[in-house]
Amino acid sequence: MNANIEIDVGRRTFAAGLLTDLIVALRRSRPGELLALTGDDAGLGVDIEAWCRFTRNTLIETTIEAGRTRWIIRLGESHDDEDPGRALGSRLWLYTNFDCNLSCDYCCVRSSPRAPRRALGLEQVQRIAREAAELGVAEIFVTGGEPFLLDDIGEILSACALAAPTTVLTNGMLFSGPRLTTLRSLPRDRLTLQISLDSPTPELHDSHRGKGTWARAWRGIQRARSEGFRVRLAATMSSDEEVAEFRRFLDAERVDERDRVIRRVALRGAATQGLAMARADLMPEVTIRSEGVYWHPVGADDADMLVTPDIFPLAESFAAVKRAFARENQHRTGLAAIFNCA
Ligand code: SF4
């Protein structure tokens, strides 16, 4: 794909000159034009994605050729961003409990074995699933704490999977005994397991999540695969080096691109460092927990992300998120008009 502006990034990072080049490129460009970055470190993609999100530009293509990575960015917001109704209709997140068998040091919602269970409950999940199907939700994500701590997680996931293709986020450590029986009862064609794994070897993963957790997560991944489930690996990372190393591991393991989620630590919840994120930085993804409807799954334990305490009717809570998004945009546009330096 040809671009209007080409920048050879080499090995530069945002902290070492790239940000300046991008600002200059933005000044020379008009919305809709294409900017291509070519670099030697594929790990830079995570920062480019974050930059696009913060600056409301759109990463439309990533390709690798002869060991170099090329990112194409369309300047200006994507069509999805212009149509929040479509984006909001596509994904629905459910926080089913909040308690967890682990207490990871960067958990964005402060889950741990000491966190009180705040259960959404099977009845509410069933109603949400019914109404979500009527609203055309395309994908449901179920997260905990650790959802497999719940006795009725089988029924919860089955209800969601009936409504839309569902992904359950899990640390993968509990697939034995009755929980394995529950796992075996779930629909393979409608359910993906997203299992956390932060590094190719135990050291880094265990340093954040606890001794022995890498080995148990890896066994969980193998178990879920052997039971016929699609497994997506999700890594939470702090540096470009970690990202690059993990990508090499995923390549060696032949993990499909669609089954990889690599994200930076968010400065939310228990994290003491990471990417600071406010509502304005995140496209809303309707997120429901027992206490109400939130802007985004990152920060679903923080008051600033609460949109409304009323979950039902779901159509109304979706509308509340859309209204909040419209207000946010209006505010940003207003500020941009006032804060004009020259
Ligand atoms: S990051 Fe996941 S596994 Fe770790 S404490 Fe939070 S919910 Fe539990």
pLDDT at position 87 is: 62
Q: 90: burial class by Cβ within 10 Å (0-12, 13-18, 19+)?
A: middle
CA–CA separation, 248 and 65 (whole Å): 16
| 111 Cα–ligand 1 center, Å | 6
Straight-line distance from the first to the last Cα atom of the chain, in angstroms, rounded to the nearest whole number? 35
Check if 103 has its Cβ closer than 6 Å to any atom of ligand 1.
yes
Angle, vertex CA 189, rays to CA 187 and CA 190, nearest 5: 70
| 107 Cα–ligand 1 center, Å | 5
Specify the 3-state DSSP secondary structure of 64.
strand
Mutate to test the pocket of ligand 1, among 107, 207, 233 (most ligand atoms within 8 A of CB): 107
CB atoms within 10 A of CB 321: 21
Nearest to 239 by CA among 47, 48, 18, 2: 47
Mutate to test the pocket of ligand 1, among 94, 101, 102 (most ligand atoms within 8 A of CB): 102
Check if 182 has its Cβ closer than 6 Å to any atom of ligand 1.
no
Nearest to 92 by CA among 329, 342, 339, 321: 321
Check if 146 has its Cβ closer than 6 Å to any atom of ligand 1.
yes
Each residue's pLDDT tens digit, 250-278: 999 999 988 999 998 999 999 998 888 88
DSSP, residue by residue, 91-114: EEEEE---B-S---TT-TT--BTT
- Mean pLDDT score of the chain: 89
Check if 269 has its Cβ closer than 6 Å to any atom of ligand 1.
no
Contacts of 62 (CB under 8 A, 6+ apart): 45, 69, 70, 71, 72
CB atoms within 10 A of CB 310: 11
- The pair phi, psi for residue 230, each rounded to 5°, is -75, 130
Token readout for 336 is 């941009």
Q: 334: burial class by Cβ within 10 Å (0-12, 13-18, 19+)?
A: exposed
pLDDT classification of 212: cutoffs 50, 70, 90: very high
Give the residue ranges of DSSP H helices in the chain. Answer: 18-27, 44-55, 79-82, 84-90, 122-135, 153-163, 177-184, 202-209, 213-226, 240-252, 314-338
| 137 Cα–ligand 1 center, Å | 26
Each residue's pLDDT tens digit, 214-246: 999 999 999 999 999 999 999 999 888 999 999
Each residue's pLDDT tens digit, 54-78: 787 877 778 888 889 999 887 865 4
- Amino acid letter, 262: I
pLDDT classification of 79: cutoffs 50, 70, 90: very low
Specify the 3-state DSSP secondary structure of 235.
strand
